[in-house]
């Protein structure tokens, strides 16, 4: 007769009414204790214990079915009636590892008074207690309150993210007439990926429809699941701008400007954000594509370039999202052609760290790329730096980008400011708006800036097709930065005087030293007039700065506008010589005999554009159907920049009275710059107030070093100022900015402003250059100084608005942190089960964890996060040996770029509360997932019961035989064959993530079956088994999100007929323990109790998973699969510890099933 499996859930439906768990439950009621540990010890000390039915021969499953059928009523009665004797089952029934105890030994003791009292308890109380223990839907008040608080916190975060501290969308629509020419000759002879990917050449309809190459090659790389057609807006603007403007500009043509040939890559919408191998494949393909594109310019049949020009040797790269990472990866690939890339512009690309860490390959690839770039730029000599010629510009969309956190676009930890920078679109002149992940490609005002910057850096007279690196950086800073940064370069000192200004010798247009020039209207004298501001001498106390603001555009030399600003020096020149030395001569002396001649430089090239701020403006930009806003012109010079000159000449060139205004002044830096050193806690408690006095400079700047976190948002309120008889020239204008990365936001006609920034962010690697003090947030105010009235400003922390800032920075936490809760719950379940024989439900174990282990673990993790934040703020230690042999210098420091990867990634101890808050939300999430899984399994269980219903006249054994075959338990032979086939497919065709999904589905079916048996038999063994398989399902469900992205990549590859298997996802050992565990559970076999010291290993393993999920889970989420996989292997080992495998036993599994069926049919 075949040996019955140990602890089978199906076998104990009616025969286990006197089992240990029932009696322990009764004794708990008598003793008044609800702790299973305590109840077990009480039971052992005071209850009669007997080894029940010592027998070496096990009844068959069919005999058990018959016994259950005939004794159903008696069995039910025994369940309801408490017994004076506790029955402790043998190892063959409950699976104990108690092999040292003889099977036929009876241990008899006298029952205590409490046990007798328990036996006399009313049936209703015992049944209520038993029902509560067995009900998986039970929820204690503590669990309920914790869940409600967690869900309330999550709802507050999501509500804040959606409704508060939102940036305004200001993009204007772009239009184009696209056409694409596929490069069909770039086939499998050039690359092995030609059957999957392809390259196109873009041409704009009705502008440039010739498919021959003729200009400078530019390659566009789409991002994650991106389309090659996304190049249309930028490429169309490039073609149109050259056709309408540049080709008619002979100076630009002579300087090397030519048409841009935009190439774009069709990746079949590959998913690169989740899969490192796909990223490497794309980089390899693109290096081959660049070699092919450059070869087109050598072929006279494919090229229309001037033969006198050198052939191109490099390609400009535009990368969107993950396309920017692919662009950087190309330079580290073995097939990279040296110097074939020297200019990379990326848009919304997560350079600093991978968006998700579900794939080991993408984490490894990111580390390899970033280490290569850091090491290259750490070289002392340019000859040793393979990236010396490369410029990298990273452009971020800001808070509107909800796909990639804009913090991740930072290059601070990768590239020095001599070779690249990060800028936000809200900082770019004439753009001044944030953008979402897709809008950054089609936004009309932004694409114009990108195209003009590209035309400014190209030079077809050089083989590289671009200007030298230093000039490229200067051009990019001019187009993308505001011009008010500390690193901004002024061109005035590099210029030669171009204008000779002649004035009356006794002119009264010279403004007294320290006075302010204010013009409220132009052309009042009906002739041009120059107003001179004398430049203060060097060494003026406090330092001086010249500022000028006007609503007019400043004229360049030779323009015929209203206003021109010149920096002049006295030039004693004889009459008649001016025409030979100066390109422009401006004689304002009239008929006066005496005159003063000034040699002047035009300042228009250093003008800074600011959004117009008037009573009618509401936003710094204008939309498609709105009237165009003419920006303000602003000049700003430190005294050191203009010391070579004696005067600033502001020339009013209007001859008729016309509207317009200008304000110019020299002000003290002491008056215009303030630093408020207050702590974050004080700002949170009391806010901050600023009062601008009536006599103040036009521009006032307030720096608050403590405000540098991207997790906080603020509300600013600005009081109105009252002007006297004169009308207000302009309304207050506010610029908030941080210097690293370059992020500025403008608020026009400001009364209230929502302040948020992308400063110091969680999980971000430290900068290449260590700074002991953060610059923090700066607020720059332009106010009308002619009003002579004070202005009050208040700044407060927006706590509800700050909650929404957590979403983008911590959303990946929910892939890892909940495993802390689940692992601790399972740890508690196994501990209680090994000690008492009761496998509690998930909800009951969670309630115990909320009372004991979870608060302790979260408290310890909170202390750890504070410690890590303090260590992160500490300066890096000196390294005299260098890093692995390079860069060794006694004065250099070694930077740990992974120091912010742990726990919640916080760099500020102020955010100590993040761990408890995330823990609270994750507890709520675990409870919701638990009840969702319960609902699903109950639904399937009801469906299972419905499909199993047969006519009432059928006997019980006939009912079982007539069961719906889909739910019939499989034989060992079938399970072994299924497992072998699945493992074979994993090793050859399918990734193990697919097998994991199958295992999850099988586990759901097992839970449904186990629930149905437990509800019908209502025995403790069946409820133990159901709670066990349900908890394993919860654990597997939390690992499922880590595996699903790879599965999506695999399905996508099948859809595009790319059948090459993933080399990194066919490790059979990564899935075998899961498959073996799930297949073992389909047999209804309960995990044996472990009463020896080995049981502590189970507890330690789950505890290690919990700690790893919290500390390393966000950065290395893929490791969680392997850790849980190891625990699954451990559980399989425990299951197999009670099985006796022999060759004869294995051979019987493969006998024909017909023999079993015939025998089964003869059962009486």
**Residues forming the active site:** 321
Which tokens hold the place of 58? 């096990």
DSSP state, 510? B
- Taking residue 468's Cβ as centre, other Cβ atoms within 10 Å add up to 14
Alpha-helix residue ranges (DSSP H) falling in 1056-1117: 1072-1082, 1095-1111
432 touches 184 (CB < 8 A): no
Q: Residue 770 contacts by C-beta under 8 Å, 6 or more apart in sequence?
A: 875, 876, 893, 895
Does a cis peptide bond (omega within 30 degrees of 0) precede residue 452? no
Q: Whole-angstrom distance between the N-terminal and C-terminal Cα of the chain?
A: 16
**Token pair 């005087």 in the structure block, residue:** 497
Residue whose C-alpha is closest to residue 516's, from 279, 788, 290: 788
Residue whose C-alpha is closest to residue 821's, from 721, 963, 926, 898: 926
**Token pair 């009761």 in the structure block, residue:** 838
Task: Round to whole Å and give the CA distance between 1054 and 728.
Answer: 67
Task: Round to whole Å and give the CA distance between 647 and 534.
Answer: 5
Task: Round to whole Å and give the CA distance between 1048 and 1066.
Answer: 16
Sheet with 544-550, side-by-side order of all strands: 517-522, 658-668, 544-550, 632-638, 608-610
At 1161, phi and psi to the nearest 5? -70, -25
CA dist list (Å): 628 to 138, 450, 619, 631, 1099: 64, 21, 12, 9, 68
- Burial of residue 1009 (CB within 10 Å: 0-12, 13-18, 19+) is buried
Residue whose C-alpha is closest to residue 488's, from 665, 636, 368, 292: 636
DSSP state, 709? B
Residue whose C-alpha is closest to residue 636's, from 701, 557, 703, 699: 699
Task: Round to whole Å and give the CA distance between 876 and 883.
Answer: 13
Task: Round to whole Å and give the CA distance between 703 and 709.
Answer: 14
- Taking residue 1066's Cβ as centre, other Cβ atoms within 10 Å add up to 17
Polymer length in residues for the chain: 1164
648 touches 567 (CB < 8 A): yes
CA dist list (Å): 983 to 384, 869, 978, 992, 1044: 49, 45, 9, 9, 19
743 touches 433 (CB < 8 A): no
Task: Round to whole Å and give the CA distance between 458 and 716.
Answer: 43
């Amino acid at each position: 007769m075949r040996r019955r499996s140990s602890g089978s859930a199906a076998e104990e439906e009616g025969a286990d009414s006197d089992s240990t768990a029932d009696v322990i439950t009764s004794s708990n009621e008598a003793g008044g204790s609800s702790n299973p540990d305590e109840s077990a010890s009480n039971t052992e000390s005071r209850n009669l214990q007997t080894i029940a039915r010592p027998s070496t021969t096990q009844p068959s499953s069919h005999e058990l079915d018959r016994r259950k059928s005939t004794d159903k009523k008696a069995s039910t009665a025994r369940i309801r009636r408490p017994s004076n004797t506790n029955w402790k089952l043998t190892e063959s029934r409950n699976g104990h590892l108690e092999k040292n105890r003889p099977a036929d030994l009876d241990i008899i003791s006298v029952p205590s008074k409490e046990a007798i009292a328990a036996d006399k308890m009313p049936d209703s109380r015992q049944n209520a207690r038993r029902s509560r223990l067995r009900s998986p839907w039970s929820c204690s008040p503590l669990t309920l309150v914790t869940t409600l608080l967690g869900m309330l916190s999550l709802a507050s975060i999501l509500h804040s993210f959606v409704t508060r501290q939102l940036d305004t969308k200001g993009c204007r629509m772009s239009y184009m007439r696209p056409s694409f020419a596929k490069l069909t000759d770039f086939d499998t002879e050039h690359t092995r990926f030609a059957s999957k990917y392809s390259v196109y050449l873009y041409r704009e309809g009705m502008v440039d429809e010739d498919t021959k190459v003729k200009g400078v090659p530019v390659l566009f790389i789409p991002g994650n699941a991106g389309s090659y057609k996304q190049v249309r807006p930028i490429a169309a603007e490039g073609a149109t701008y050259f056709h309408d403007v540049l080709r008619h500009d002979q100076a630009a043509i002579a300087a090397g400007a030519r048409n841009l040939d935009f190439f774009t890559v069709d990746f079949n919408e590959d998913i690169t954000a989740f899969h490192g191998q796909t990223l490497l494949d794309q980089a390899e393909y693109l290096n081959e594509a660049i070699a092919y594109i450059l070869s087109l310019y050598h072929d006279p049949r494919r090229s229309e370039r001037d033969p006198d020009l050198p052939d191109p040797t490099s390609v400009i790269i535009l990368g969107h999202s993950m396309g920017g990472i692919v662009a950087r990866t190309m330079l580290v690939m073995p097939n990279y052609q040296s110097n074939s890339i020297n200019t990379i512009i990326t848009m919304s690309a997560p350079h600093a760290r991978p968006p998700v860490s579900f794939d080991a390959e993408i984490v490894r690839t990111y580390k390899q790329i970033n280490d290569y770039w850091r090491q290259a730029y750490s070289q002392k000599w340019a000859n040793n730096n393979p990236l010396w010629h490369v410029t990298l510009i990273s452009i971020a969309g800001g808070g509107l980008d909800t796909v990639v956190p804009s913090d991740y676009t930072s290059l601070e930890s990768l590239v020095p400011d001599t070779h690249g920078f990060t800028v936000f679109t809200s900082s770019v002149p004439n753009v001044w708006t944030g953008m979402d992940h897709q809008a950054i490609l089609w936004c009309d005002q932004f694409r114009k800036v990108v195209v003009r910057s590209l035309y400014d850096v190209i030079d077809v007279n050089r083989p590289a097709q671009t200007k030298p690196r230093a000039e490229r950086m200067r051009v990019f800073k001019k187009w993308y930065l505001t011009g008010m940064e500390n690193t901004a370069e002024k061109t005035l000192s590099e210029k030669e005087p171009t204008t000779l200004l002649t004035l009356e010798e006794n002119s009264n247009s010279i403004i007294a030293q320290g006075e302010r020039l204010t013009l409220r209207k132009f052309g009042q004298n009906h002739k041009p007039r120059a107003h001179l501001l004398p430049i203060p001498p060097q060494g003026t106390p406090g330092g001086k700065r010249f500022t000028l603001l006007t609503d007019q555009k400043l004229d360049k030399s030779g323009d015929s506008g209203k206003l021109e600003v010149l920096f002049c020096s006295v030039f004693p020149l004889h009459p008649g010589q001016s025409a030979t030395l100066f390109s422009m001569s401006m004689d304002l002396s009239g008929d006066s005999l005496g005159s003063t001649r000034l040699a002047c430089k035009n300042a228009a090239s250093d003008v800074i554009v600011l959004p117009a701020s008037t009573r009618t403006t509401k936003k710094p930009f204008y939309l498609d159907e709105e009237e165009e806003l003419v920006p303000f012109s602003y000049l700003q010079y430190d005294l050191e920049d203009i010391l070579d000159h004696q005067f600033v000449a502001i020339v009013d060139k209007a001859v008729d009275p016309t509207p317009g205004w200008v304000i110019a002044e020299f002000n003290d830096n002491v008056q215009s710059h303030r630093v408020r050193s207050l702590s974050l806690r004080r700002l949170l408690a009391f806010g901050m107030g600023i009062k601008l006095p009536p006599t103040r400079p036009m521009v006032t700047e307030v720096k608050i070093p403590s405000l540098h976190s991207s997790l906080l948002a603020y509300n600013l309120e600005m009081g109105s100022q009252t002007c006297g008889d004169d009308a207000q020239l302009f309304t207050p204008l506010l610029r908030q900015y941080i210097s690293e990365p370059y992020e500025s936001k403008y608020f026009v006609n400001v009364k209230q402003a929502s302040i948020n920034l992308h400063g110091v962010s969680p999980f971000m690697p430290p900068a290449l250059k260590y700074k002991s003090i953060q610059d923090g947030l700066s607020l720059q105010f332009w106010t009308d100084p002619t009003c002579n009235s004070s202005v009050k400003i208040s700044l407060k922390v927006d706590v509800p608005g700050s909650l929404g800032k957590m979403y983008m920075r911590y959303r990946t936490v929910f892939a890892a942190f909940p495993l802390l809760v689940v692992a601790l719950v399972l740890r508690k379940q196994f501990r209680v089960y090994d000690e008492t024989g009761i496998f509690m439900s998930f909800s009951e174990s969670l309630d115990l964890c909320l009372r004991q282990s979870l608060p302790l673990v979260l408290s310890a993790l909170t202390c750890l996060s504070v410690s890590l934040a303090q260590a992160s703020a500490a300066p890096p230690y000196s390294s005299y040996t260098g890093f692995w042999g390079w860069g060794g210098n006694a004065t250099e420091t070694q930077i740990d770029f992974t120091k912010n990867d742990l726990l919640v990634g916080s760099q500020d101890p102020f955010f100590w509360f993040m761990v408890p808050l995330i823990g609270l939300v994750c507890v709520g999430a675990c409870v919701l997932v638990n009840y969702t899984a319960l609902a699903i399994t109950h639904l399937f269980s009801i469906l299972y019961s419905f499909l199993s219903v047969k006519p009432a006249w059928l006997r019980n054994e006939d009912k079982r035989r007539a069961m719906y075959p889909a739910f019939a338990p499989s034989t060992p032979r079938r399970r072994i064959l299924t497992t072998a086939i699945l493992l074979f497919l994993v090793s050859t065709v399918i990734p193990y993530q697919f097998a994991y999904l199958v295992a999850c589905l099988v586990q759901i079916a097992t839970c449904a079956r186990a629930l149905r048996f437990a509800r019908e038999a209502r025995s403790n063994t069946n409820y133990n088994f159901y709670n066990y398989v349900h908890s394993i399902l919860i654990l597997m469900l939390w690992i499922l999100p880590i595996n699903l992205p790879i599965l999506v990549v695999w399905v996508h590859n099948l859809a595009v007929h790319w059948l090459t298997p993933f080399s990194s996802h066919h490790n059979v050992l990564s899935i075998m323990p899961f498959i073996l565990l799930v297949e073992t559970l389909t047999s209804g076999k309960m995990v044996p109790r472990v009463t020896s010291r080995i049981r502590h290993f189970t507890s330690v393993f789950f505890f290690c998973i919990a700690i790893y999920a919290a500390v390393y889970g966000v950065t290395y989420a893929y490791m969680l699969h392997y850790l849980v996989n190891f625990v699954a292997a451990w559980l399989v080992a425990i299951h197999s510890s009670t099985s006796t495998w022999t060759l004869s036993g294995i051979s019987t599994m493969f006998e024909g099933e017909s023999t079993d069926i015939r025998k089964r049919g003869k059962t009486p």
